[in-house]
Amino acid sequence: MPETDVMPELSLASAAGLTGSGKPLSVTRLRKTYGGVTAVDEVSMEIAAGEFVTFLGSSGSGKTTTLMMIAGFCEPDSGSVVVGGRDVTRLAPQKRGLGFVFQQYLLFPHMTVWENVAFPLQLRGVSKAEQRRRVGETLEMAGLSAMARRRPRELSGGQQQRVALCRALVYRPPVILMDEPLGALDKKLRDQLQNEIKRIQQELGLTVIYVTHDQEEALVLSDRIAVMRDGRIDQFDTPQELFERPRTPFVADFLGAANFLPGHVEQRTSGHTLVRLDTGGVVKARPQAGTEGARVRAAVQPGRLALCPPDDGFCTGTVETVTYVGTLVRVTVRPLGGAATELVRLELPAGRAPDLGERVGLTADPANVSVFPDTEHGG
């Protein structure tokens, strides 16, 4: 292959403006089945240039299969993948011009760090001078210049993953796909590399699609998150919207470990929804759909609840457990009255811990309370 200083792939500058609409990647009605089981069911989305999008879900949610169809490693039964205005649905992975970073580092053990990072450029016939420039810049950006002559076996897991990231970045792909790249690392190292990945993504204006089952990781890294379940997207939104305004009980529980308090709609106005809980109290929620009298569940996350004097809040109960977790204290309260038997969970600053057996009230800002139909009771 002849050497050239001109990259056949898009530069970062051109990648940022792949289409007039600023949408470097779109997927439309992607579907995949395995032996009659639907793994991905009509998934569609558009991703803007420079956006960090995460597919978040538990095992079997369809997140990795969706990524593999975008990458070209898995052929969809139907639907399309468009990169920079070009339909790549039936193209091989190497012809899509995308970058890949996986949980397994997949580094060549006999090559140095420098050689591993330079390898994609060699495949594309880039001149030696241009290789030196690009590899040098990329390693410096990732803080790996001093390790350029080391072999993978001489690196820590975190350093190897940074090399894998450099290898994906060095030829300036328009979109980088990451499949649980930090899954094999310990928490401290994961936190460090999350910061590194986000810094590099923002510094270079990269478009990233990331897969993880870790809620905190998704919230820290993402501009938008697609919460997936049973092959579908439950909600595709910013971290703040997902956390504060979940549209489904699954999203409220999966991202916020929400408390679900059963009751019925007592009143609806343009400004709020009042829910009469089965425990007897009334909780005020932000305005939401639902007819008066309908069975519902009021959802509020542990960190959004606060203690108040008994009988002053929407619920009164007795403190059952108090667990210290660093700067936080986790508290469970057993509600008094009604038929409810589940404990209500709170997260409070460590200095505000109640006493075991103490009688307390619970309160919450209405803006942080969601209301969902109680399908378990025919609502």
Domains 12-98+173-244 and 258-377 belong to one CATH topology: no
pLDDT for 136 equals: 93
Q: State the pTM of this model.
A: 0.85
- Percent of the chain at pLDDT > 70 equals 92
Q: List pLDDT tens digits, range 103-157.
A: 777 889 999 999 999 998 988 889 999 999 999 998 998 889 999 999 999 998 8
pLDDT for 352 equals: 86
**Residue, of 172 and 318, whose pLDDT is higher:** 318
pLDDT for 13 equals: 33
Say yes or no to pLDDT of 3 above 80: no
Band of the pLDDT at 171, cuts 50, 70, 90? confident
pLDDT for 341 equals: 64
Q: List pLDDT tens digits, range 343-373.
A: 999 999 988 899 999 999 999 999 999 999 9
List the one residue out of 202, 206, 175, 181 whose CA is nearest residue 193: 181
Residue with tokens 């977790």: 325
Give the orientation angle of helix 128-141 with respect to helix 187-204, to 10 degrees.
130
Q: Which residues of 195-204 are buried (b: 16+ CB within 10 A; e: fewer)?
A: ebbeebbeeb
Q: List pLDDT tens digits, range 231-286.
A: 999 999 999 999 989 999 999 999 989 999 999 999 988 889 999 999 889 999 99
Superfamily of segment(s) 12-98+173-244: P-loop containing nucleotide triphosphate hydrolases (3.40.50.300)
Say yes or no to pLDDT of 314 above 60: yes
Instruction: Give the three-class secondary structure for 100.
Output: strand
Highest-pLDDT range among 48-62, 83-97, 115-129, 175-189? 48-62
Direct distance between the N- and C-terminal alpha carbons of the chain, in angstroms, rounded to an integer: 66
Report CA-CA distances (Å) from 117 to 126, 141, 180.
Answer: 13, 13, 20
Write the CATH number of the domain with boundaries 258-377: 2.40.50.140
Band of the pLDDT at 338, cuts 50, 70, 90? low
Task: Locate the domains of the chain by residue range.
Answer: 12-98+173-244, 258-377
Name the H helices within 16-86. Answer: 63-71
